Structure 1
Amino acid sequence: MEKKAWWKESVVYQIYPRSFNDSNGDGIGDLKGIIEKLDYVKDLGVDVIWLCPIYQSPNDDNGYDISDYQGIMKEFGTMKDFDTLLEEAHNRGLKILMDLVVNHTSDEHAWFIESRKGEDPFYRDFYIWSKEKPNNWESYFGGFAWEYDETRKEYYLHLFSKKQPDLNWKNPNVREKVYEMMTWWLEKGIDGFRMDVINLISKMDGFPEGEPIPHTPYTEKNPYVVCGPHLHEYLKEMNQKVLSKYDIMTVGEALNITLEEGKKITDEREHELQMIFHFEHMNVEYPGKEKWTDKRFKLVDLKKILAKWQDGLKDHGWNSLYWNNHDQPRVVSRFGDDGEYWEPSAKMLATCLHLMKGTPYIYQGEEIGMTNVKFPSISDYRDIEILAAYDKYTKMLGYTHEQMMKCIYSFGRDNGRTPMQWNDSKNAGFTQGTPWIGVNPNYTKINVEKQLRDKNSILHYYKKLIKLRKSHEIIVYGDFKMLYEEDPNLFVYERILEGEKILVVLNFTKEEQTFNPPEEWLGKEAEVLISNYENEGKITEKTLKPYEAVAYLLKN
């Protein structure tokens, strides 16, 4: 039996504050807007809210460029508003997970301002400086990762935007300052951290030349910054000095990470982090190649990746389960069907994720089946990555406008950043003003208010899945076993715990499919835990409807 923990039994709801709910009509979501919707989040049944960055920031990368870790972005409100949010969330039994961005800061952070002067010995080496450009490393957002600074007359490293200089984690003063800041937030009463690109904090010594792969931000073009030589040392130190002192949840975002490195980070005996977000299943259409594509995924590839991580972390690690976040397109458009089979495919994908082993994460709007958006003009987009890629591909790589827009419609990050669709009033009820980014025009069909009234809606289906998790220990702690791994159309797996088994059967296509049950299940009477079509308990060969999902519970 797994070691029990509250964070294993929880469901997390991710809020992108800028796009969630605007309380003051300026077109930007804010903390008071989140407070207004806490009852909705509580009613969904989740346990934890993960807040994307709310710190003071010049917003070059939508808050992931932090200029003051202990200040609140003025557009979002004040620290008093945050304290109210924390109190009101805790009053409802909801925990708050903060986004921790410590691979880099903003170039407007006081630490960088002092470091670029090069005068104060304490701050001089807070960032990674070089008198000459030392290698060919590229930024994940395109272009060289080294920027010449006129003030200091040296180059600094930025793995993302040039306004996001990388901190020098080799410097013990940097680490102590980071740990002080983390402790400050935990003493305030927050319940954990989601750690942005945490596996990039240690870079290879000596700055060896990279292995650039053209025009993609999601491959190991810079293998010398991924899981560097001191990563585990730093995470163990962070755990020992900060994390271990509190009963909290920790999850680290880990780019290009291997299963072996993922095991090291999440192994409870290693005392680093509890979970990671890997991206292997999110890169299923373009493994090691190309993000900007309009290719459709292959189910067999997706199953093998998910099974690999389920099996690989089963003994002492723990999986985070997610389809969507602020950096990903909407899953119903990507792995489902946002047209004719929008509702059943959204429910099927939810079933697939929530009945696997791990802690599920729901991204705002996923619970109502929000879809990708197709804005007509590149000027309608706000994401720094989209704009940089469009510029590069159309000007340097020969893509037409139409070609590139098709890729953006499939994989652009702004697909997940359009405003939350609350109702069918103007701007989907998100704001009384002009929204910072356009609203998906389908909000009149897809919105919270409409689905709350419909007991068969996607929203109510999510509520049922979350309730099942609370009432069936097997869903949290049972072993995972993939079946029919080579089937190109069906995703079938078992969960097993002591005297119970769950069989999950999923049709990932818009065509009917024949399902032949495993011999040990054939003819058995079982409880239908959940299904997106009408289903009987007896398990026999059957024809699955388009995007059908059914989960059976069998007790010995």
Structure 2
Amino acid sequence: MNKQWFKDVVVYQVYPMSFQDSNNDGIGDLNGIKERLPYLQKLGVDVIWLNPIYESPNQDNGYDISNYEKIQPVFGTMDDFNDLLDAIHKHGMKLLMDLVVNHTSDQHRWFKESKKSRHNKYADFYIWRDPVDGHEPNNWGSNFSGSAWTYVPERKQYYLHSFASGQPDLNWDNPEVRKNVYQMMRFWLDKGVDGFRMDVINYISKPKDLSSAPAPNGSKYAPIEPIVTNGPHLNDYIHEMNREVLSKYNVMTVGEMPNTKPEDAVKYANLDGKGLNMIFQFEHVKLSANSNKRLGKWSDKKIRLTELKKALSRWQNGLDGRSWNSLYWNNHDQPRAVSRFATDDPKYRILAAKMLGTTLHMMQGTPYVYEGEELGMTNNHYHDIHQYEDVESINAYHQFSDKEKIVKPNTMLNYLADRSRDNSRTPMQWNNDQNAGFSKVKPWYPVNPNYKYINVDVEKANPYSILHYYQRLIRIRHHLDLIRYGNYEELDPDDDQAFSYKRHYGKQTLLVISNFTDKVIERDYKQDRANELLISNYPDDKGRTIRPYETKVYLFI
């Protein structure tokens, strides 16, 4: 196995708005992150990924960027950023920035100029089309509900936006767009940034044919994602980006790529170093999508373990020796892992959170820990639409419940409680003081009420906590080449209660057994012949007996 530094690290994702408020305005900031670096260092992570901190009108919480080379004022100044970057490096960690270049904000200078005229320097920086019969150019629907097109009277044309109307898609077929993006990337890399997480990077190459597409029964719009992902020039643009920028720096890159398969990842993130280092795939987090295709992800359906195993195993086997996996349960766009993939029932939450962490961290790939995951933070389980902040959630509720009336309001609220992005964006829970120690004033978004017993201070004080367990997971991973580089072998794919697999590296074998149920089960994988029980979430080992949400990792030499 070719050893490269991005394969050896564990990444911690920080959602800046919700991590730590240092100046008591209710919003997390750069200086707050700097204050918490000793915590992250002690956790053992190697890389910090920051969600967007650029200037933005915040229509989509920073993913609508109005100036790529300025810091959003509520987060601090460029001097604050420089100090944070320096402090991260002094603590022996690296920094991954969020690169959002499929779209900008409609307040970006490029778009403001582009909308003025069809004949200026920026006229073709975005994707414009004439009306068809007085309406949108086609029936594509935005990921955030409604049409993917918005009309601009000045040009008498529509512009394409895969997401909110305030997020116009850039025209990557224009060489000047790519030139400007690469220049911006160098601005940050020259500061010493250690790489990029690239937001929906496989959206950047649009199909040549922008005609209408089949829509789900009863729907006015065709979902845009399968239409615009993995376009005809995507690989060309990724390789060009690598040649022009990435190859000139010792950096780590991960591309967010929904609607991709392992064979796609091998093209875009081949181990030859000419593309990206890895991608974020979505197969395992889309398994519980609604059977009604009009509703897409909105559902409260539980994931079947056999399907989860099949999805994760497909990526483990499909990328082995050819590309590299990114390992994650949740992030800023996904609900809390323990609530979704296991249980947040207080009786089992701690065991379940440790089990999930073990199952993921023992696989081949680079693990990503989302802020609070190491505490077993849970979904908030809201019950009123007015409690939501996320534009995607609010739009979906009004479209499906109010306008189309295909889902009853209470049912849609159940779906939001299970799947809304807001579940992951509540403030970090540091202690049981006011606002969980996040801020001394009312936070921009309410703290989960369970912070009184789920917080860093409680976890630190308990040597058997989830936090201490994650520290052990990370240490073990850093110590064993077998975990980082070993081949993967799934065991009993039809087992709907346990997720078991082996890893092989040289003469060493790792056996992982995880019970995803609250039942006692029996499994015999000759674990009694193991040389060592590396880690488990129970204080003793009952051999073939696997207790509720138990996870065990054995080493054979």
TM-score bin, normalised by smaller chain: over 0.9
Q: TM-score, normalised to structure 2's length?
A: 0.96
Q: Deviations over 1:462-512 (max 9, x none)?
A: 000000011111010111111011100010000100010000000000111
For the 8 Å contact 2:118–2:155, the answer to whether it is kept is no
Give the counterpart of 2:263 among 256, 260, 267. 260
Q: Residues 550 and 423 (structure 1 numbering): CA distance in 2 closer, same or farther, change over 3 Å? A: same
For the 8 Å contact 1:211–1:221, the answer to whether it is kept is no
Q: Deviations over 1:143-191 (max 9, x none)?
A: 1111101222211000000000000000000000000000110001000
**Matches of 2:225 and 2:326 in 1, distance apart?**
25
**Matches of 2:113 and 2:515 in 1, distance apart?**
57
1:401 to 2:409 alignment: yes
Give the counterpart of 1:543 among 530, 542, 545. 545
1:438 to 2:446 alignment: yes
Shift of 1:293: 1.0
**1:460 maps to what in 2?**
468
**1:507 maps to what in 2?**
515
**Matches of 1:222 and 1:319 in 2, distance apart?**
22
For the 8 Å contact 1:491–1:507, the answer to whether it is kept is yes
Paired residue total: 548
**Matches of 1:358 and 1:131 in 2, distance apart?**
45
**2:151 maps to what in 1?**
148
**2:484 maps to what in 1?**
476
Q: Residues 56 and 263 (structure 1 numbering): CA distance in 2 closer, same or farther, change over 3 Å? A: same
Q: Residues 219 and 466 (structure 1 numbering): CA distance in 2 closer, same or farther, change over 3 Å? A: farther
**Matches of 1:213 and 1:183 in 2, distance apart?**
42
Q: Secondary structure at the match of 2:352?
A: helix
Shift of 1:52: 0.1
**2:367 maps to what in 1?**
360
**1:225 maps to what in 2?**
228
**Matches of 1:200 and 1:71 in 2, distance apart?**
24
**Matches of 2:83 and 2:217 in 1, distance apart?**
47
**1:103 maps to what in 2?**
102
**1:280 maps to what in 2?**
283
**Matches of 2:484 and 2:522 in 1, distance apart?**
29
**2:332 maps to what in 1?**
326
Shift of 1:214: 6.4
Shift of 1:259: 2.2
Amino acid at match of 1:434: K
Amino acid at match of 1:363: Y
**1:17 maps to what in 2?**
16
**Matches of 1:400 and 1:154 in 2, distance apart?**
36
For the 8 Å contact 1:89–1:95, the answer to whether it is kept is yes
**1:527 maps to what in 2?**
532
Amino acid at match of 1:245: K
For the 8 Å contact 1:211–1:222, the answer to whether it is kept is no
For the 8 Å contact 1:159–1:165, the answer to whether it is kept is yes
**Matches of 1:416 and 1:215 in 2, distance apart?**
32
For the 8 Å contact 1:220–1:256, the answer to whether it is kept is no
Q: Residues 546 and 97 (structure 1 numbering): CA distance in 2 closer, same or farther, change over 3 Å? A: same
Gaps of 5+ in 1: none
Amino acid at match of 2:158: Y
Shift of 1:206: 2.5
Amino acid at match of 2:156: K
Amino acid at match of 1:531: S
Gaps of 5+ in 2: none
**Matches of 1:62 and 1:513 in 2, distance apart?**
44
Amino acid at match of 2:385: I
**1:136 maps to what in 2?**
139
Amino acid at match of 2:379: N
**Matches of 2:450 and 2:213 in 1, distance apart?**
44
Q: Secondary structure at the match of 1:362?
A: strand
Shift of 1:15: 0.2
**Matches of 2:38 and 2:273 in 1, distance apart?**
38
Q: Deviations over 1:260-314 (max 9, x none)?
A: 2122111123711111001100011127743111111100000000000000100
Amino acid at match of 2:386: S
Shift of 1:427: 0.7
Give the counterpart of 1:495 among 500, 503, 513. 503
Q: Deviations over 1:327-376 (max 9, x none)?
A: 00001001111112000000000000000000000000000000000223
Give the counterpart of 1:311 among 271, 296, 317. 317
Amino acid at match of 2:19: F
Give the ranges of 4+ consecutive aligned residues of structure 1 lying more than 4 Å apart after TM superposition.
218-222
**1:201 maps to what in 2?**
204
For the 8 Å contact 2:141–2:223, the answer to whether it is kept is no
For the 8 Å contact 1:239–1:271, the answer to whether it is kept is yes
Q: Deviations over 1:101-129 (max 9, x none)?
A: 00000000000011111265321100001
Q: Residues 64 and 221 (structure 1 numbering): CA distance in 2 closer, same or farther, change over 3 Å? A: closer
Shift of 1:131: 1.5
Amino acid at match of 1:524: R
Q: Secondary structure at the match of 2:489?
A: strand
1:423 to 2:431 alignment: yes
**Matches of 1:503 and 1:31 in 2, distance apart?**
41
